């Protein structure tokens, strides 16, 4: 069994996500725990209000929603009663047994899995600490449940390389499924998971699933009214089908919503910037002057996708890195000039051979034959720092090495005068 825990700011959003799956016929509501009514009698508002009222007991808890998914081996066929029992046992073991929570079984993937919706605020208003809950309480609970119910271990599932994928992790293919549902699945997986700080960075992720967020041309009505459309792309990244307004999706992924996330994501992604930087440096260190495509393949092995932006003439003008392990997106120039499109092209060779042309910003060292003999500098310095400014600096230090502070010369003069007066 594989358990995934996520927290968020919106109880409405995660509840709407699961309820809309039920409406679309790709999920079913299994049970409600710690509700005053039977599960089958609960309306949408009753499900929501119970969670909202408990979350309101502590307004200082901003990330108050909890969304858990429990994923099982594809060969395991579990009844609704077994899924309910497993969810109750799991929630009890991670410290959420007394919390109100809702359990849904999703049918949109090749493996059995359930989603659990709850809140982090207890009935007395105290906050449930979820720091490292996945590594500590959840891991312990998972292993105990696997033994109790005879489930496949998560470690064995990884060894067998089972792909526990739901619909949103697959590329959208126009005409294969309902467009709105397919786009919504991708957005649910990406918007609150990846850390992007601009629309192009978000599109760097979405385009890997054949989806794009589009503001339209600057003269369009959509652009002028701060609107946003979502489109399906074909394999050549060309828009196909009818675009869908952001406001028509259940989670309302509008431009305003995205812009509110940009500054939050900027802070959250900072600790992970060095991973992308180090991965690029290490790849180029192992194989200097490799081709751009070779570098891209090397980064893919580290879980980093490289998105190249080029104009109609094929000239590369931008580069974006999507780190799927840390769920962070970085434009190359944000990491540093050596990692921008220009910097990477200068560090790579399209043929993979040693390049002889120096970048524009590297100055050629002056020739020794044009310098007077006494100004010649050591070959090592000339090779690595043969810049004119460095040469001038070295020469200045050499000329000023005999300098004596004024105070020392003055003090010595006074002593000589005193000795002269004594003799007289």
Q: Tokens 């994501």 map to which residue?
A: 265
Question: Considering the domain boundaries, does residue 290 fall inside one?
Answer: yes
Whether 26 and 92 map to the same domain: the answer is yes
Number of other residues whose CB lies within 10 A of the CB of residue 253: 24
pLDDT digit string, tens, across residues 368-417 = 434 333 334 344 434 444 444 444 444 444 433 444 444 444 444 454 55
Does one domain contain both 279 and 378?
Answer: no
Give the pLDDT of residue 349: 72
- The helix or strand, by DSSP H or E, that contains position 101, with its residue range, turns out to be strand 101-106
Per the listing, tokens 């007066």 go with 421
Q: Record the tokens describing residue 122, joined without a space.
A: 């207890």
Same-domain pairing of 153 and 32 = yes
Q: Evaluate whether 36 touches 101 at the Cβ level (below 8 Å).
A: no
Which of 112, 135, 165 is the last residue in one of the domains? 165
In a domain, 12, yes or no: yes
The residues, ordered by sequence, that sit 6+ positions from 240 with a Cβ below 8 Å of its Cβ are 174, 231, 232, 233, 234
pLDDT of residue 158: 54
Q: 26 and 149 share a domain?
A: yes
> What phi, psi does 268 have (nearest 5°)?
-70, -25
Tell me which residue range forms the domain holding 314: 271-347
**Domain assignment present for 110:** yes
pLDDT on residue 354: 38
User: Within this chain, do residues 264 and 311 fall inside the same structural domain, yes or no?
Assistant: no
CATH of the domain at 96: 3.30.930.30
**253 domain-assigned:** yes
Same domain, 320 and 377: no
For residue 24, give the DSSP letter.
T
Q: Closest Cα to residue 342, out of 355, 329, 361?
A: 361
- Asked whether residue 336 falls in the same domain as residue 236, the answer is no
Asked if 46 and 152 sit in the same domain, the reply is yes
**Which residue, 268, 296, 324, sits at the end of a domain?**
268
Of 114, 132, 165, the domain-final residue = 165
Name 140's Cβ contacts closer than 8 Å, sequence gap at least 6: 93
Structure tokens at 384: 């690595």
- Per residue of the chain (424 residues), give pLDDT as tens: 888 898 888 899 899 989 988 988 888 999 999 999 898 899 999 999 999 999 999 999 999 999 999 988 888 888 889 999 999 999 999 999 999 999 999 887 667 899 999 999 999 999 999 988 888 899 999 999 999 999 888 776 654 443 334 433 567 877 677 788 888 888 888 888 899 999 999 999 999 899 999 998 888 999 999 999 999 998 888 888 889 999 888 778 999 999 999 999 999 999 999 999 999 999 999 888 889 999 999 999 999 999 998 888 888 999 999 999 999 999 999 999 999 999 999 988 754 443 333 333 333 444 443 433 333 434 443 444 444 444 444 444 443 344 444 444 444 445 455 454 444 4
Co-location of 144 and 249 in the same domain: no
Q: Exposure pattern of 131-162 as b/e (b: 16+ CB <10 Å)?
A: eebbeebbeebbeebbeeeebbebeebeeeeb
Residues 258 and 202 in one domain: yes
Same domain, 151 and 192: no
% of the chain at pLDDT higher than 90: 48
Q: Count structural domains, the chain.
A: 4
Task: Tell me whether residue 210 is exposed, middle or buried, using C-beta atoms within 10 angstroms of its C-beta: 0 to 12, 13 to 18, 19 or more.
Answer: buried
Whether 320 maps to a domain, the answer reads yes
**Residues 44, 123 within the same domain:** yes
Please report whether residue 360 resides in a domain: no
Q: What is the pTM of this model?
A: 0.51
Q: Which residue has the tokens 């929630």?
A: 91
Residue with tokens 């009890």: 92
pLDDT at position 157 is 61
**Cβ 205 vs Cβ 194: under 8 Å:** yes
Task: Report yes or no on 172 lying in a domain.
Answer: no
Confirm whether 353 is domain-assigned: no
Please state, in angstroms and rounded to a whole number, the distance separating the CA atoms of residues 133 and 91: 12
For the segment 56-68, what is each residue's pLDDT rounded down to a tens digit? 999 999 999 999 9
């Amino acid at each position: 069994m594989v358990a995934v825990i996520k927290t968020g700011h919106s109880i409405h959003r995660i509840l709407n996500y699961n309820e809309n799956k039920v409406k679309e016929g790709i999920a079913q509501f299994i049970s409600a725990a710690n509700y005053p009514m039977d599960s089958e009698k609960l309306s949408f508002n009753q499900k929501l209000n119970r969670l909202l009222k408990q979350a309101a007991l502590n307004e200082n808890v901003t990330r108050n929603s909890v969304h858990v998914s429990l994923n099982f081996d594809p060969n395991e066929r579990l009844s609704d009663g077994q899924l309910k029992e497993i969810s109750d046992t799991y929630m009890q073991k991670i410290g959420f047994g007394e919390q109100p929570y809702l359990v849904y079984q999703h049918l949109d993937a090749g493996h059995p899995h359930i989603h659990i919706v709850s809140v982090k605020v207890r009935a007395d208003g105290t906050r449930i600490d979820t720091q490292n809950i996945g590594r500590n309480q959840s891991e312990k609970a998972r292993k105990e449940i696997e033994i109790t119910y005879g489930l496949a271990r998560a470690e064995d599932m990884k060894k067998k390389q089972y792909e526990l994928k739901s619909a949103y992790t697959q590329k959208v293919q126009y005409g294969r499924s309902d467009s709105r549902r397919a786009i919504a699945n991708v957005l649910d997986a990406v918007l609150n998971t990846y850390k992007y700080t601009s629309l192009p960075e978000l599109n760097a992720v979405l385009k890997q699933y054949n989806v794009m967020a589009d503001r339209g041309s600057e003269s369009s009505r959509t652009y002028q009214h701060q609107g946003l459309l979502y489109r399906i792309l074909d394999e050549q990244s060309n828009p196909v089908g009818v675009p869908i307004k952001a406001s028509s999706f259940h989670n309302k992924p509008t431009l305003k919503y995205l812009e509110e996330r940009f500054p939050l994501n900027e802070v959250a992604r900072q600790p992970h910037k060095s991973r992308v930087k180090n991965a690029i440096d290490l790849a180029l260190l192992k194989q200097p002057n490799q081709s751009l495509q070779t570098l891209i393949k090397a980064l893919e092995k580290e879980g980093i996708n490289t998105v190249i932006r080029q104009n109609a003439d094929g000239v590369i003008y931008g580069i974006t890195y999507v780190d799927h392990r840390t769920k962070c997106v970085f434009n190359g120039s944000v990491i540093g000039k050596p990692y921008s499109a220009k910097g990477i092209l200068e560090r790579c060779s399209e043929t993979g051979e040693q390049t002889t042309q120096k970048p524009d910003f590297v100055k050629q060292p002056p020739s020794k034959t044009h310098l007077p003999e006494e100004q010649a500098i050591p070959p090592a310095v000339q090779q690595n720092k043969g810049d004119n400014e460095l040469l001038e600096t070295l020469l200045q230090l050499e000329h000023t090495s005999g300098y004596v502070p004024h105070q020392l010369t003055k003090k010595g003069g006074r002593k000589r005068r005193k000795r002269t007066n004594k003799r007289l």
